[in-house]
Structure 1
């Protein structure tokens, strides 16, 4: 009889406990009561899935302030056979913490994850104009480092929930430069059947341009625009094999089971030397995707049936 641990699913996430990634994983109902595996970076989390150590990984993919997370996008392009099955939004706010007894006016070195540091830079310049930045692996690791002595910093930028896990003093609250900051996370698994369409779906792909010439990006975008598909994200990333060679990370409104989306993906496959299908999954905001009736499934099906009729010699209706 299998042990309880053997029957439970494993989820990798950027640890340790208390990170924003953990807050995203807490939104996944099927992850509750399962094994949560903290890792050091996005690449490790995705490798866990690809190599079978975990059933799924939660990773940050986009921030409303800094845009797409390049390390996550590059890892998804590089590691094969990964699928996004859901997305989750986490409001982002920060506190500045120190060891018990630390005074704000004595802070010279601030430990922070680079993304968190960028989102708090204006506050830091105003309140700690002479400070220096010490990079940290995560928003929680920044605080752990000042407690265990592995960091030379006197203060750390961390999530508000840090006090539930570590004995630190809060030196300042709400230090983020944008109170509306949100990070988008995605849950990634191995290959499988996409979740059923909900009407409020998103499809993610990574597409390479076939050659560096005028009009190729327009041709790529026309695969979507001529089928009435809206793009909510398009971001270029260098392929890395030569200057001027790029791949594009794209989020498109709709599901692969939508006739117009399937047709667009076939167009991309004909156009590009390398298309990575990352998945079709429910939008975090559950906003219904609206489109013109001329792009409905019925229109695409009727057009295909019409061509089949022509090929079979059927008379006009």
Structure 2
């Protein structure tokens, strides 16, 4: 199967895909395809050019990746897995630190290193790129250019690690979703054995209230509380229909076929304008390959 990730080679999305695949019986039956941006990964699923996509969802320093949230709402995809990657940004270049005039990285990469850049490279031009690995590839062109990217990207493109661990917080992690076209979900899960009874599960949904009234969100959250369902994440995102109009992204523990969750979803559907089920998937468990 083909797996679409944000490229080029050496990206954290590539690392996430390999980490998710690690230990699977058919790990070697998959190939990676690299795309210029996150939208292209989603589009590749729609056009059947790839079978699976791996996209960044949220970062422990900078929060959610807005484009991924928007695409999850707009595209007909299902979530079949998650993985969490430890982010270790390095300053990479083929020149010397004192000669750097331009620093490149993905917007999230620059934001996660904001204080470092202010303290050590005040006045240096910052440029955004489609990914951290794209920044590393561009930094090979001139010694006055540097990139904020991974040590894997340094090896991939022959760059020196001028300064390691430049993120503003030592604990820096990004959560990735593994997504597939909705109509192929059961088939792909059967191949990768995603529905093993041995797993603990999480479920993700998107809710649009569709009417502004006192207590509307409370009514939704009460359904989870009354059935002792543990919410692991809730986030609002503009609906893009009107100012102050939002959709809500909700993650919680458990599998969609669990009786208490089925009951909660049934009750919530009658209280909202839209409920999109993204899917139930094995909960990420940290291991040696995630460090």
Normalized against structure 1, the TM-score is what? 0.82
Q: 1:116 aligns with which of 90, 94, 109?
A: 109
Matched with 1:143 is: 136
* Contact 1:96/1:157 (<8 A) preserved: yes
* Contact 2:90/2:162 (<8 A) preserved: yes
Q: Which runs of 5+ in 2 are unaligned?
A: 190-194, 287-291
Q: 1:164 aligns with which of 155, 172, 177?
A: 155
Matched with 2:125 is: 132
- Residue 261 of structure 1, CA deviation: 0.8
SS of the equivalent of 1:271 reads coil
Q: 1:26 aligns with which of 18, 21, 29?
A: 18
Question: How far apart, in 2, do the equivalents of 1:211 and 1:204 lie?
Answer: 22
Q: Residues 212-235 of structure 1, C-alpha deviation per residue, up to 9 Å, x if partnerless?
A: 122111112122112111111101
Structure with bigger RCO (C-alpha 8 Å, 6+ apart): 2
Q: 1:198 to 1:218 in 2, by over 3 A?
A: farther
* Contact 1:25/1:31 (<8 A) preserved: no
SS of the equivalent of 2:270 reads helix
Please tell me whether residue 182 in structure 1 is matched to residue 191 in structure 2. no
Please tell me whether residue 276 in structure 1 is matched to residue 276 in structure 2. yes
Give the aligned CA root-mean-square deviation in angstroms.
Answer: 1.8
Matched with 1:75 is: 71
Question: How far apart, in 1, do the equivalents of 2:63 and 2:233 lie?
Answer: 9
Please tell me whether residue 263 in structure 1 is matched to residue 258 in structure 2. no
Please tell me whether residue 217 in structure 1 is matched to residue 217 in structure 2. yes
Question: How far apart, in 2, do the equivalents of 1:197 and 1:60 lie?
Answer: 26
Matched with 1:293 is: none
Normalized against structure 2, the TM-score is what? 0.89
Please tell me whether residue 243 in structure 1 is matched to residue 239 in structure 2. no
SS of the equivalent of 2:43 reads helix
* Contact 2:112/2:168 (<8 A) preserved: yes
Matched with 2:289 is: none
Matched with 1:40 is: 36
* Contact 2:136/2:154 (<8 A) preserved: no
Q: Which has the larger radius of gyration?
A: 1
* Contact 2:199/2:283 (<8 A) preserved: no
- Residue 197 of structure 1, CA deviation: 4.9
How many residues in Structure 1 have an aligned counterpart in Structure 2? 273
SS of the equivalent of 1:248 reads strand
- Residue 65 of structure 1, CA deviation: 1.3
